[in-house]
């Protein structure tokens, strides 16, 4: 069965940003460049797509709640949904994880041409941080003098990797969800999640939904049970944690970082001090694990050896 395509209007944490953007479209005040930022799984691409659809639509409609949205029925909407709209351009990283200067130059070439449908041209760049330096500089030229009727919508989870000059030429919309919003939305989809998992994925509802429905979630539940046993003073549980983390060190070291951080905030002294040191060691270990040529299993064993010294008596 095909997965349901969700709209930003179905994601409460996106409603404020969507409403502001839609009002700007209605008033012909939308800036030529919009930058949507937020953690993975917060819905940046969904919001970008909905905004692009609204800009492309020739007969937008108002919902019962007062939000302007694309009709989904006009010729422009149908062409976009089919991936054939000549004034809608979508760009993301190639197989090597890069947005190249040639790709940006092609966008620039197209934007110099006349539009075909509504008089608007929309460019969506997902994962804009993937632009290499040449690509970023090429895009900057377009942002400095955007063609009339052209709108550029970019998304990024790592805004620090964008040129400051690019950021300064965009209207910035940071996106986030509260723990309550994430929990309520997941419960509406018959999914439950505990606090540690919420913080692990930074309250990003879509990331949480995908993770809970993945095979990796069962491993996280096993991890949680082992950590609880270690909290109760069972030292052997930490060795089992080490084995579980060693199966996928780069991904799973974050689990231990998250759990230790949460416990350290609530633990009595001197246990809190020991856990805080363990937490700092784990952060350093995460940096090391991300480097190439590292014996990851050995690194996991090294950092866990400090955890064994934590005195829970």
pLDDT value of residue 112: 83
Whether 7 has a pLDDT exceeding 70, the answer reads yes
Per-residue pLDDT reduced to its tens digit, 65-116: 899 999 999 999 999 999 999 999 999 999 999 999 999 999 989 888 877 7
Whether 301 has a pLDDT exceeding 50, the answer reads yes
pLDDT value of residue 3: 45
pLDDT value of residue 71: 95
For residues 50 and 275, what is the distance between their CA atoms, to the nearest angstrom? 45
Per-residue pLDDT reduced to its tens digit, 46-63: 999 999 999 999 999 999
Per-residue pLDDT reduced to its tens digit, 12-41: 999 999 999 999 999 999 999 999 999 999
Neighbours of 1 (CB within 10 A): 3
The pLDDT of 200-226, averaged and rounded, is 95
Whether 195 has a pLDDT exceeding 70, the answer reads yes
pLDDT value of residue 95: 93
Res. 312 pLDDT band, cuts 50 70 90: confident
The pLDDT of 7-13, averaged and rounded, is 96
Q: Which residues have CB under 8 Å from 102's CB, separation 6+?
A: none
For residues 123 and 21, what is the distance between their CA atoms, to the nearest angstrom? 16
With H, G, I as helix, E, B as strand and everything else as coil, classify residue 124. strand
Cα angle 32-36-40, degrees, rounded to a multiple of 5: 155
- Of 43, 76, 36, the closest CA to residue 60 belongs to 76
Per-residue pLDDT reduced to its tens digit, 269-280: 899 999 999 999
Evaluate if pTM is beyond 0.95.
no
- How far does the chain reach from its first CA to its final CA, in angstroms? 53
pLDDT value of residue 253: 96
Are the C-beta atoms of residues 208 and 41 closer than 8 Å to each other? yes
pLDDT value of residue 249: 95
* CA 216 from centroid of its chain's CA atoms: 18
Query: Is the preceding peptide bond at 298 cis, omega within 30 degrees of 0?
Result: no
pLDDT value of residue 6: 82
pLDDT value of residue 172: 97
């Amino acid at each position: 069965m095909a997965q349901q395509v969700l709209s930003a209007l179905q994601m409460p944490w996106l409603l404020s940003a969507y409403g502001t953007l839609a009002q700007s479209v209605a008033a012909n005040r939308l800036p030529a460049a919009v930058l949507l930022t937020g953690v993975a799984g917060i819905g940046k691409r969904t919001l970008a797509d909905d905004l692009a659809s609204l800009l492309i639509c020739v007969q937008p409609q108002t919902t019962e709640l007062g939000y302007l949205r694309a009709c989904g029925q006009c010729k422009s909407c149908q062409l976009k949904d089919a991936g054939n709209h000549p004034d809608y351009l979508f760009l993301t990283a190639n197989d090597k994880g890069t947005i190249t200067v040639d790709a940006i130059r092609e966008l620039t070439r197209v934007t110099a041409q006349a539009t075909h449908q509504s008089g608007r041209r929309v460019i969506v760049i997902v994962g804009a941080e993937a632009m290499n330096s040449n690509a970023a500089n090429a895009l900057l030229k377009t942002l400095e003098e955007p063609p009339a009727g052209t709108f550029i919508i970019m998304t990024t989870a790592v805004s620090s990797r964008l040129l400051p000059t690019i950021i300064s030429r965009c209207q910035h919309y940071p996106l986030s969800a509260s723990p309550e919003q994430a929990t309520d939305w997941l419960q509406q989809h018959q999914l439950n999640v505990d606090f540690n998992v919420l913080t692990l994925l930074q309250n990003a509802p879509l990331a949480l939904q995908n993770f809970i429905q993945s095979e990796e979630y069962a491993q996280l539940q096993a991890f949680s049970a082992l950590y609880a046993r270690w909290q109760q003073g069972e030292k052997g549980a930490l060795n089992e944690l080490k084995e579980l983390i060693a199966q996928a060190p780069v991904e799973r070291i974050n689990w231990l970082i998250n759990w230790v951080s949460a416990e350290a905030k609530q633990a009595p002294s001197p246990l809190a001090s020991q856990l805080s040191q363990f937490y700092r060691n784990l952060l350093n270990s995460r940096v090391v694990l991300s480097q190439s040529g590292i014996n990851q299993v050995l690194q996991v064993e090294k950092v866990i050896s400090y955890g064994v010294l934590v005195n829970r008596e």
